[in-house]
Amino acid sequence: MRNLRILLGMTLMVFVVGAVLLLKNGAPSFTRPQGIFVVATTYPVGYFAQVIAGGDATVRIVTPLGVEPHDYEPPVADLAMVEDSDLFLYVGGEFDPWAQQAAQGLAGQKPLVRSIINDRGEGLVPQDNLITDTYGAPDPHAWLDPLLSKDMAHGIADALAEIDPVHASSYRVREIALVAQLDALHARYIAALASCSLHVIVVSHDAYEYLGRRYELQILPIAGLSPDMEPSPGVMADIARTAQAQGVHTIFFESMVNPNIAETLAREIGAEARPLDPLENILLAEVQAGATYFSIAERNLIQLTNALSCTTTS
């Protein structure tokens, strides 16, 4: 595992350096918008930035709609966009490893850089609040906890105020409104999950530990932090036994990941396979329908109350 991570890091560094050389030698670029320009690698941080920025800054999200962000490799033009931004927001760790390499190449230069996972004092959330896996790697999915998302909102507002003090008060007003929405979301989760027959969920991908910690749910992941990880037959058998023993009747999968493993496990134990969104990205059809972080989180809550046989509804 460690050697694989080292090899991946070296490969990414070569990619980033090569991309910079291409940029300097006339590779396709992009048209920079006027005014304050923010680039975010993926939907959760990008959505919060868009809400706080309002009309005072332009926010672009690098990972295309509907694309699994763990697997995304940006074209050269995206790296040009990062280099020419005023603020670069990314997740960190193995969620968007290309972004971490790009950020290291920008150290001490424009743009201002902030991330969720960050050991240089530039974290969007307190680093001691991050969950780590069995290998010690930080779990990036902090946005599934509305209270940690409040920290993210505050960190983004701080960064925007730093690069654009003229509009600092406007950013603060929008931050306060966003925090109020997150508090309300948290209150609805507390109320809806207060009286449930079950307190364990089986998920296809280990992206829900923050949700479990905040609302006292046991998370049984089929795969690890990366949705591409394949579980061994032994792991599948262990999860099946535990799920049956605890009366689990729903196996959750992600809409952007092949549901075959979750569906196989569901058939094996006589359960139903249903979607639970980790909010890593959003589909184009959802955007067109007006979906947001909040509406998807509310949809997740409905799925959870059904799966956990709760007596209250959201």
Confidence class of residue 275 from pLDDT cuts 50, 70 and 90? very high
Read off the pLDDT of each residue in 45-68 and give the average, rounded to a whole number. 97
Please give the Cα distance from 17 to 28 (Å, whole number): 16
Q: Which residue has the higher pLDDT, 178 or 136?
A: 178
pLDDT of residue 141: 96
Tokens, residue 225: 């932090």
pLDDT of residue 135: 80
Cα-based distances in Å from 33 to 30, 36, 84, 209: 9, 8, 10, 38
161-191, pLDDT tens digit by residue? 999 999 999 999 999 999 999 999 999 999 9
pLDDT of residue 224: 64
Domains of the chain: 2-186 (3.40.50.1980), 194-307 (3.40.50.1980)
Tokens, residue 295: 């509406």
Q: What is the DSSP string of 148-178?
A: HHHHHHHHHHHHHHHH-GGGHHHHHHHHHHH
Read off the pLDDT of each residue in 229-253 and give the average, rounded to a whole number. 90
In contact, 149 and 182? CB cutoff 8 Å: yes
